[in-house]
Structure 1
Amino acid sequence: MFDYETIRLIWWVFIGVVGIAFALTEGFDFGVGTLLPFIGKNDVERRVIINTVGATWEGNQVWLVLLGGAIFAIWPAVYATLFSGLYVAMLLVLFSLFFRPSAFDYRSKIEDPRWRNSWDWALFIGSSLPPILFGVLVGNLILGLPFHFDNDLRSFYDGSFWALLSPFALLCGVTGLLLTTFHGALFLKWRSEGVIHLRAVSTINGLGPMLLLALAATTLWVFVGIDRPEITQMVATDAPSNPLNKTVIAQGATWLQHFMAYPWMWLAPIIGFIGIALAWLLGKGDSRMGAFVSSSLGIVGIALTVGFGLFPFLLISATDPRSSLTLWDGSSSHNTMLLAFWITVVFLPIVLLYTRFVYRVIWGSVTEETVLKDSHTLY
């Protein structure tokens, strides 16, 4: 039904959608967990904050599993290069995520302030560290990673963990933390009342300018200060995957020149900035849903900016530009992609409908009266 070139492009869109879904849903989960020790001043208030995401955090985290599985099936060369070369960084993400289920499940087992306070800080670590590491990863995807393929298409990573922590990558990590915390504050404002609601508004008011400043600095650095490789010769896009069947120059153009060549791409950063700015303005007022939706649009715009800027690259090699992986030469076989496509077409709508059903059932404000009345089934 779809030729090789078309199905590769479809899967680029599919996996991009999954990545955006993870950023939107797990983003506010991370933000709520990051804010927990600061907005919640006592045990009851912290229980209210935890239960705003208590029924959905596990389902939201599945998007990350789906993203990793999709990359493994569709772009195995990308999966192998990332997970072998960035082994230490990936383990840090994994270990930090371990804090989250433990904190959610064990916090309420013992009514001891020290016990519960310890798990609150564990949830803070498990919620604040991953956005920083994911931001550092995005920064390094933009800069390029030090890897190459030999003539047998074996991948070799030439860098170290500490080399990932460049100034630009760290700026991206800080921006990622600010973004998820801001998104989480908007969600917390939407689903809370009273003093927690007011503290969330105050947090939104303070974080908004900081996030916009960080986004502006990151965007300016990307568009002006970072070169983007350029493919000068490539085999047909419907040919079998072979990353070495192309010619790439390391400094083809800047990101700014790339976006100027395709003016419609400017919609992505415009949506990103307008969405975040509008979320800040609405978040300071009485708006709940409008502010959160605006923040979500901002996140979509930021994600599309990165995706459009990299296209058609998936992984840029900083040491051997020819080894850079694109969606045309880093994919699985045609049959594998077609089979995975039909599986996705059948099951993804079911997942989305079930997710919509869950949010509809549990929706509403979480109050202190709610958690005090139901101390056995709620966190």
Structure 2
Amino acid sequence: MILHQLIDYETLRLIWWVLLGVLLIGFAATDGFDLGVGALLPFVGKTDIERRVVINTVGPVWEGNQVWLILGGGAIFAAWPPLYAVSFSGFYLAMFAILAALILRPVGFKYRSKRDSAAWRGGWDWALFVGGFVPSLIFGVAVGNVLQGVPFRLDDDLRIFYDGTFFGLLNPYALLCGLLSVAMLVTHGAAWIVLKTEGRVAERARAYGQLASFASFLLFVLGGVCLYFFVNGYAITSAVDGAGPSNPLLKDAVMLPGAWFANYGAHPWLLIAPALGLGGAFLTFVCFGARKEGLTVLASKLSIFGIISTVGVSMFPFILPSSADPRASLTVFDASSSHMTLFIMLVVTLIFLPIVLAYTAWVYKVLWGKVRPESITRKGGHAY
């Protein structure tokens, strides 16, 4: 028996759909608080030493956290080539804006304290704010556009044609999703600052965190209401062959009002996902007020898990619907790599993902504890 036939093609496709979700959630739960900390930096730190304390809460770990973004992009490239082709070409300018903003983060960390100048350091502080706020916003805008459908089509040779524009991405529902993303990650960043600092910095972060968690709750509810009443979902009207060829044009699909809620009607237990999103945001708000630092971070992660999972289970089996030609929409079962490719990638993932998780856990254990001003100013230190 050939090894890759140990797992059938349909199951492998489902496994990689789950793994893609795991990688996206992993990125939001780890590098997400880095982005939130950057967005909060000018507001929770009023003096130079306070801002250095805030920066050093993420300074030792942000590079490792960003690995999840690379893993997610790599997984999309290898497991879902058409998804990679459409998203990275159609969203090219948006991706460029994200990368330009992310580049500001390492440069800001390295150069901010190189000159003892208030103007110099203040400028880099706002650059770090851009590096946190802009990716948080654009990631959410991208999700909002995916839920509405992306204007692309395929010809008979499966060549991709994108008919949208950059400013077309900035529609009201997408911007609403962008604001939800910002609120969610700012909440996570505030929870991390409260966990890693003390005194005035922690108090300011707690206040902003409560506002952001409350906003996350409201925006998630509003996003769901708008999705039901004002945004058409997508549905497959032909038979679904989970082990069929990777050719999106072999199916029939249509746009339907409320279609993104069909999975919850068919499988009510899936309501766990939005319940975790709402419950996690509410619990985060409560934990901020109760000063439960560790529980606040865990509740924030729970909210992130619920919110991102809600998008995935609502759209399944779609991964990138097409508003220009619903038939060309990409799904879990018709846009993947080959059986052999998915199997080899799964074996590699099963070997290396536990190593990444173990190393990450070890790093956080070694670097655990509060960041205090005296540790920043101590001679011979390695703080930013």
Common fold: TM-score over 0.5:
yes
- The question of whether the paired residues in 2 share the 8 Å contact of 1:225 and 1:254 is answered with no
- The question of whether the paired residues in 2 share the 8 Å contact of 1:235 and 1:245 is answered with no
Following the alignment from structure 2 to structure 1, what is the Cα–Cα distance between the partners of residues 90 and 213?
A: 35
Does 2:144 match 1:139?
A: yes
Equivalent position SS for 1:38:
helix
Does 2:129 match 1:124?
A: yes
* Aligned residues between the structures: 379
TM-aligned CA deviation for residue 376 of structure 1 = 4.0
Q: Which amino acid aligns with 1:99?
A: L
- The question of whether the paired residues in 2 share the 8 Å contact of 1:32 and 1:181 is answered with yes
TM-aligned CA deviation for residue 252 of structure 1 = 6.7
Instruction: From 176, 183, 192, give the equivalent of 2:188.
Output: 183
TM-aligned CA deviation for residue 253 of structure 1 = 4.4
Following the alignment from structure 2 to structure 1, what is the Cα–Cα distance between the partners of residues 287 and 137?
A: 26
Instruction: From 294, 300, 305, give the equivalent of 1:300.
Output: 305
TM-aligned CA deviation for residue 210 of structure 1 = 2.3
Following the alignment from structure 2 to structure 1, what is the Cα–Cα distance between the partners of residues 358 and 34?
A: 20
Counterpart in 1 of 2:348? 343
- The question of whether the paired residues in 1 share the 8 Å contact of 2:40 and 2:186 is answered with yes
RMSD: 1.2
Counterpart in 1 of 2:249? 244
> In terms of mean alpha carbon deviation, does 284-293 or 254-263 score higher?
254-263
Counterpart in 1 of 2:334? 329
Q: 1:125 to 1:284 in 2, by over 3 A?
A: same
Equivalent position SS for 1:152:
coil
Q: Which amino acid aligns with 1:227?
A: N
Counterpart in 2 of 1:231? 236
Instruction: From 316, 323, 326, give the equivalent of 1:311.
Output: 316
Equivalent position SS for 1:284:
helix
- The question of whether the paired residues in 2 share the 8 Å contact of 1:144 and 1:318 is answered with yes
- The question of whether the paired residues in 2 share the 8 Å contact of 1:230 and 1:253 is answered with no
The list of structure 1 runs, each at least 4 consecutive aligned residues, that deviate by more than 4 angstroms after superposition, is none
Q: Could you give the per-residue CA deviations for residues 123-150 of structure 1, whole angstroms, max 9, x where no partner exists?
A: 0001100010000000001000000100
TM-aligned CA deviation for residue 256 of structure 1 = 3.1
- The question of whether the paired residues in 2 share the 8 Å contact of 1:143 and 1:226 is answered with yes
Q: 1:192 to 1:77 in 2, by over 3 A?
A: same
Q: Could you give the per-residue CA deviations for residues 193-214 of structure 1, whole angstroms, max 9, x where no partner exists?
A: 1111111122123323222221
Counterpart in 1 of 2:3? none
Q: Could you give the per-residue CA deviations for residues 190-234 of structure 1, whole angstroms, max 9, x where no partner exists?
A: 110111111112212332322222121112111332221111114
Q: Could you give the per-residue CA deviations for residues 326-375 of structure 1, whole angstroms, max 9, x where no partner exists?
A: 01100011111111111111111000000000000001010111111156
> In terms of mean alpha carbon deviation, does 349-358 or 216-225 score higher?
216-225
Following the alignment from structure 2 to structure 1, what is the Cα–Cα distance between the partners of residues 325 and 292?
A: 50
- The question of whether the paired residues in 2 share the 8 Å contact of 1:28 and 1:184 is answered with yes
> In terms of mean alpha carbon deviation, does 79-88 or 207-216 score higher?
207-216
- The question of whether the paired residues in 2 share the 8 Å contact of 1:234 and 1:245 is answered with no
Report matched runs for 1:22-171 at 5 Å. 22-171=27-176
Q: Which amino acid aligns with 2:227?
A: V
Following the alignment from structure 1 to structure 2, what is the Cα–Cα distance between the partners of residues 252 and 234?
A: 21
Following the alignment from structure 2 to structure 1, what is the Cα–Cα distance between the partners of residues 37 and 99?
A: 19
Q: 1:280 to 1:252 in 2, by over 3 A?
A: closer
Q: Which amino acid aligns with 2:207?
A: S
Following the alignment from structure 1 to structure 2, what is the Cα–Cα distance between the partners of residues 205 and 357?
A: 30
Q: 1:256 to 1:327 in 2, by over 3 A?
A: closer
Instruction: From 363, 367, 374, give the equivalent of 1:369.
Output: 374
TM-aligned CA deviation for residue 236 of structure 1 = 2.1
> In terms of mean alpha carbon deviation, does 221-230 or 332-341 score higher?
221-230
Following the alignment from structure 1 to structure 2, what is the Cα–Cα distance between the partners of residues 167 and 227?
A: 14
Q: Which amino acid aligns with 1:79?
A: Y
- The question of whether the paired residues in 2 share the 8 Å contact of 1:9 and 1:327 is answered with yes
Following the alignment from structure 1 to structure 2, what is the Cα–Cα distance between the partners of residues 116 and 375?
A: 21
Does 2:219 match 1:214?
A: yes
Q: 1:198 to 1:45 in 2, by over 3 A?
A: same
Following the alignment from structure 1 to structure 2, what is the Cα–Cα distance between the partners of residues 290 and 367?
A: 21
- The question of whether the paired residues in 1 share the 8 Å contact of 2:50 and 2:373 is answered with yes
TM-aligned CA deviation for residue 84 of structure 1 = 1.1
- The question of whether the paired residues in 2 share the 8 Å contact of 1:224 and 1:254 is answered with no
- The question of whether the paired residues in 1 share the 8 Å contact of 2:227 and 2:258 is answered with no
Equivalent position SS for 1:314:
strand
Counterpart in 2 of 1:265? 270
Q: 1:336 to 1:256 in 2, by over 3 A?
A: closer
> Please, which runs of 5 or more residues in structure 1 have no aligned partner?
none
Following the alignment from structure 2 to structure 1, what is the Cα–Cα distance between the partners of residues 361 and 340?
A: 32
- The question of whether the paired residues in 2 share the 8 Å contact of 1:314 and 1:325 is answered with yes
Q: Could you give the per-residue CA deviations for residues 286-309 of structure 1, whole angstroms, max 9, x where no partner exists?
A: 200011101110110001100000
Following the alignment from structure 2 to structure 1, what is the Cα–Cα distance between the partners of residues 250 and 225?
A: 33
- TM-score normalised by length of structure 2: 0.96
Equivalent position SS for 1:291:
helix
Following the alignment from structure 2 to structure 1, what is the Cα–Cα distance between the partners of residues 82 and 262?
A: 28
Q: In percent, how many aligned pairs have the same letter? A: 46
- The question of whether the paired residues in 1 share the 8 Å contact of 2:153 and 2:162 is answered with yes
Following the alignment from structure 1 to structure 2, what is the Cα–Cα distance between the partners of residues 333 and 305?
A: 27
